[in-house]
Structure 1
Amino acid sequence: MGLAYACFIAVAETDQTLADQCFFALCSDVICEFPLRDMLKFHQSQKAEGTILVTKVDDPSKYGVVVTDETGQVERFVEKPKTFVGDKINAGIYVLEPCVLDRIELRPTSIEKETFPLIVRDKRLFAFTLPGYWMDVGQPKDYLFGLGLHLSSMRQHNPSELAEGSSFVGNNIVHPTAQIGKDCRIGPNVSIGIECVIGDGVRISNCVLLHRVKVRNFARMADSIIGWGSSIGRWARIENKSVIGEDVHVREEIFMNGTIVLPHKEIKDSQHDPGTIIM
């Protein structure tokens, strides 16, 4: 998992100054149910310097395992263990006290490999086990799989937020500003963003359409991601983990098979070979 932190969020609800408050650090390439309040409560109850969100996996030999005692105190980290030492891995969300920053030198640093072992040595690093789903969504295929997990969670916890109607199959989310044409079949596992316009007779499954995408009549999209402000022509087919960048315009009757398209392109020819990159 990468260390591209999305944000630092102050969370303490006291009269302390901002510099005295603990904060969350979140990796930008994970999705889960984000039990931040429960995690914070656990962190404070343990008087921890740092708390790692961990998730259980079926095959821990593929990951770095976080080994804890019965209280959740982290004892060690084991990278891709060949024998079973535990089934909990780092889920990429942390609660940290400000003093953690004092442990980080002014140079490129891995908090997991360099900083956390120092906190473990002082017995002040704890792990909080995530209830519910988790997914690293840093790759397109994982992003789409994570979408399905998220929508399933919404069905369980917030079903009223999912799209309903004769055009929809399974779990889908559609922004209120989006327009859906006649005789469409959308789903399962589709996300349609702000101000998207979907024509008549369109078929979409297991896809993400980001903001302001326009899809002309009778186009079909499956297992793909369509970028901001792009357009898909009539009778076009986009499938097999294609990723269409921002402001890309696909002409009528074009077939895109597992194609990656960089932003600001016009696609005039079909692409039959999976893995083709249009630059």
Structure 2
Amino acid sequence: MKIIVPMAGRGSRLRPHTLTVPKPLIPIAGKPIVHRLVEDIAAVLNQEIEEIAFIIHRDFGDKVPLELIAIAEKLGAKGSIYYQDKPLGTAHAIMSAKESMSGPVVVAYADTLFRADFTLDTTADSVIWVQRVDDPSAFGVVQLNDNNQIVDFVEKPKEFVSDLAIIGIYYFKSGETLRSELQYLLDNDVMKGGEYQLTDALENMKQKGMKFVPGKVEHWMDCGNKDVTVETNSRMLNFLHQDGVNLVSPSVVLEDSTIIPPCYIGEGVVLRNSTIGPNVSIGDNTMVADSNIKNSLIQTNTKIKDANLDNAMIGNHAVFNGHFTAVSIGDYSVLE
């Protein structure tokens, strides 16, 4: 099994944090989004992962490919790096990794996390991960027949046709077939809105009689902007806490401070005269003093003093001293 992860987008809705760190490498509960994503996919597949192919932009720098290869190796897989330099749509992005498209593959966009407990139907030509939503008009949805097979894809329906939204994770039994269908779009210039779309390839495959079935997830968590990323961090902390995962490093220095779980507290963190939690992630080597912090995401090597934070997101190597609350501060920022 191979996993292909398109992640070349800049994540503009999550600025200023994505000005220095690609969105898929933003940590959620102490681990990068893309790392959690491929771990969760591997758990659902319950199969050996041969390769994880990451599709990135060249301006991500030299460090990012090394981090991504290390993520793959932690799962016992080969890590491959491909580049998409022009934003020409989902189909174009996936085709950037065409050399890795053989055998069974999973395509997963690296801006979403999920919790699921289902058995992958490997007899199907494709499995599309879906989640029931309250407002289907904001999503692409699938329609099912009485045999639980997908019979139609509808993009942002104005009238109700289904509440099963496509979350951006797909299984294909044959990577070669997927590659052929995507190549057809590129060769024949089949575009919508100036972009090559994966949904057009899916429709062509369905018209040829291929079997599509849904993989239903219980929880779908977005990481699109600051507020939803902080919320996703809180939800993931609660899931991990319920699973009995120890989220507080033994190296934390606790001086007249209280941690209200669930919280992730990284290595070398110092807490002085502070109350932390619930639903807080604090990255390695951060210092917090004389502060109350809840429902917030704080990254590494940051200094916080005299703060009262709620729904906050603070980057790496930042300094914050004040009485603001729902802040969003990028890397190396100083407010004091």
**Shared fold per TM-score greater than 0.5:** yes
Greater Rg by CA? 1
The match for 1:209 is: 298
Q: Which residue of 1 aligns with 2:217?
A: 130
For residues 194-247 of structure 1, the C-alpha deviation after alignment (integer angstroms, 9 at most, x for no partner) is 221222x2111111111211113x2222211101111113xx12323x221111
Taking every aligned residue pair, what percent have the same amino acid on both sides? 21
- Measured in 1, the distance between the counterparts of 2:109 and 2:100 equals 21
Q: 1:32, 1:150 within 8 Å by CA — same for their partners in 2?
A: no
Contact 1:162 1:171 in 2 (8 A): no
In structure 2, C-alpha distance between the alignment counterparts of 1:45 and 1:247, rounded to whole Å: 50
CA distance in 1, matches of 2:236, 2:146: 30
Runs of 5+ unmatched residues, structure 1: 252-279
In the superposition, the TM-score normalised over structure 1's length comes to: 0.73
Work out whether 1:87 is the aligned partner of 2:163: yes
The answer for the alignment partner of 1:119 in structure 2 is 205
Partner of 1:227: 315
Alignment of 1:1-279 (within 5 A): 4=7, 13=48, 20-33=102-115, 38=118, 41-42=120-121, 44-46=122-124, 48=125, 50-96=126-172, 97-98=174-175, 99-105=177-183, 106=186, 108-112=195-199, 114-122=200-208, 123-131=210-218, 133-161=219-247, 167-181=258-272, 183-199=273-289, 201-216=290-305, 218-233=306-321, 236-240=322-326, 242-251=327-336
CA distance 1:176–1:34, change in 2 (3 Å): farther
- In structure 2, stretches of 5+ residues that fail to align are 1-5, 9-23, 25-33, 51-98, 190-194
Local SS of the residue matching 2:201:
helix
- Higher relative contact order (CA closer than 8 Å, sequence separation 6+): 2
Distance 1:85 1:31 in 2: 25
CA distance in 1, matches of 2:335, 2:169: 38
- Compute the displacement of 1:19 (Å): 5.3
CA distance in 1, matches of 2:297, 2:274: 16
**Counting helix residues as a fraction of each chain, which structure ranks higher?**
2
CA distance in 2, matches of 1:14, 1:214: 39
**SS of the counterpart of 1:158?**
coil
Q: TM-score, normalised by structure 2?
A: 0.61
Q: Displacement, 1:191?
A: 0.7
